[in-house]
């Protein structure tokens, strides 16, 4: 499956009209510090987990002259992300760590902010601006069960931290200890997650790109699955990339799906998820249409990816709208229109079948 991720994804720029869209919906911010500013670190040390394994993150440090200004600006970003930018709480905040990821495409910085009054802490991420990632964040906010907080300008993207157990760690360390009923519930959630990614064309959901969230519900623990990386929003040209079930890292959970769920149950959960997405499309109709309108104006993929993806989707749906697409924005519009028209139609099973 890894061969389906064809090449390193480039960063795509924002158009002026997309910037206006982001301003209108309060996503735009003139951040006091940029991604490039954080790259000026003077040294780093590797970060290891509790089992002494390299996390592929490094903890960076700066010269004394740089650090004071960086700390001040990062605390300002925290207040902008989580409140109204009021700096009255800044004296009680401390930047505990600035970590830099050496793995992956976006190479983000992870910032740990601690409240010194009570030792509570939280994280946020600083990344390079990328138009397709921003579209992915917007779709997650509108079409998934979760609201998502982020800020953006031409150079820098600020994302809130999404709490949970990374999928690869959960599969490796926790899945084996789940009860049989919990495994069945995880299988159900995975079918829905798989369907949701497919519908909105969110690709590359390998196990380290989503988290498992345990939730206590009365006398039991249930699990939710949530994407944490939106880099591959409608970029790749192969339909399989948008279906998490095909990644080898996810096979232990796919095994659960086959063991715990009948074909009828799988189909029921798929229909449920399509129905929920269709209802969200109705409730966010204006904003979704505006986003797709902006996507049509932007370069979000490569020409051969667009050509191949619309051909593959047409092959399954027989919807001629896909043949006429000239941008990834067109593909997204056609896909979401198809879901709205047909989410209770059995013809959908060919597109979203196992």
SS3 string, the chain, reads CHHHCCCCCCCCCCCHHHHHHHHHCCCECCCCCCHHHHCCCCEEEEEECCCCCEEEEEEEECCHHHHHHHHHHHHHHHHHHHCCCCHHHHHHEEEEEEEEECCCCCCCEEEEEEECCCCCEEEEEEEECCHHHHHHHHHHHHHCCCCCCEEECCCEEEEECCCCEEHHHHHHHHHHHCCHHHHHHHHHHHHHHHHHHHHCCECCCCHHHEEEEEEEECCEEEEEEEECCCCCECCCCCHHHHCHHHCHHHHHHHHHHHHHCCHHHHHHHHHHHHHHHHHHHHHCHHHHHHHHHHHCCCCCCCHHHHHHHHHHHHHHHCCCCCCCCCCHHHHHHHHHHHHHHHCCCCCHHHHCCC
| Predicted local distance difference test score (pLDDT) of residue 346 | 40
| Predicted local distance difference test score (pLDDT) of residue 345 | 55
* Rounded (10°) angle between helices 251-260 and 180-199: 110
Distance from C-alpha of 205 to C-alpha of 249, rounded to nearest angstrom: 10
| Predicted local distance difference test score (pLDDT) of residue 354 | 44
* Rounded (10°) angle between helices 328-342 and 285-295: 150
| Predicted local distance difference test score (pLDDT) of residue 3 | 57
Low-confidence residues of the chain: pLDDT under 70: 1-7, 343-354
| Predicted local distance difference test score (pLDDT) of residue 343 | 60
What are the sequence ranges of the domains in the chain? 11-160, 165-351
Distance from C-alpha of 146 to C-alpha of 100, rounded to nearest angstrom: 26
Q: What is the CA radius of gyration of the chain?
A: 21
| Predicted local distance difference test score (pLDDT) of residue 5 | 63
| Predicted local distance difference test score (pLDDT) of residue 53 | 87
What is the number of residues in the chain? 354
Distance from C-alpha of 144 to C-alpha of 114, rounded to nearest angstrom: 29
Range 196-232 burial, b when 16+ CB lie within 10 A, else e: bbbbbbbbbbbbbbbbbbeeeeeeeebbbbbbbbbbb
Provide the sign of the torsion angle of the four alpha carbons 273, 134, 34, 72, taken in this order: negative
Distance from C-alpha of 139 to C-alpha of 300, rounded to nearest angstrom: 14
| Predicted local distance difference test score (pLDDT) of residue 7 | 66
């Amino acid at each position: 499956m890894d061969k389906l991720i064809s090449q390193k994804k480039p960063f795509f720029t924002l158009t002026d009209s997309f910037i206006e869209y982001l301003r209108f919906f309060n996503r735009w911010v003139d951040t006091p510090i940029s991604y490039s500013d954080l790259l000026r670190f003077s040294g780093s040390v590797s970060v290891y987990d509790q089992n002494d394994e390299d996390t592929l993150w490094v903890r960076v440090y700066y010269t004394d002259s740089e650090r004071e200004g960086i700390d001040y600006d990062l605390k300002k970003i925290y207040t902008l992300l989580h409140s109204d930018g009021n700096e009255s709480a800044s004296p009680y905040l401390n930047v505990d760590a600035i970590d830099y990821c050496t793995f992956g495409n976006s190479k983000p910085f992870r910032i740990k902010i601690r409240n010194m009054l009570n030792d509570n802490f939280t994280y946020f991420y600083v990344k390079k601006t990328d138009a397709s990632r921003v579209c992915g964040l917007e779709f997650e906010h509108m079409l998934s069960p979760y609201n998502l907080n982020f800020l953006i300008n031409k150079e820098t993207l600020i994302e809130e931290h999404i709490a949970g157990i990374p999928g690869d760690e959960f599969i490796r360390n926790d899945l084996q200890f789940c009860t049989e009923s919990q495994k069945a519930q995880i299988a159900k959630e995975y079918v829905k997650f798989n369907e949701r990614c497919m519908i909105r064309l969110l690709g590359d959901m390998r196990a380290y790109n989503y988290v498992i969230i345990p939730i206590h519900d009365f006398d039991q623990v249930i699990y939710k699955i949530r994407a944490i990386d939106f880099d591959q929003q409608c970029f790749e040209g192969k339909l399989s990339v948008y279906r998490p079930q095909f990644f080898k890292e996810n096979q232990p959970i796919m095994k659960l799906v086959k063991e715990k769920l009948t074909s009828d149950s799988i189909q029921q959960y798929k229909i449920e998820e399509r129905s929920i997405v269709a209802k969200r499309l109705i409730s966010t109709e204006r904003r979704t249409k505006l986003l797709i309108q902006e996507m049509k104006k932007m370069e979000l993929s490569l020409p051969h990816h667009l050509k191949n993806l619309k051909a593959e989707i047409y092959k399954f749906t027989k919807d001629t709208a896909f043949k006429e697409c000239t941008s990834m924005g067109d593909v997204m519009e056609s896909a979401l229109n198809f879901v709205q028209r047909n989410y209770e139609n059995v013809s959908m099973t060919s597109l979203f079948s196992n």
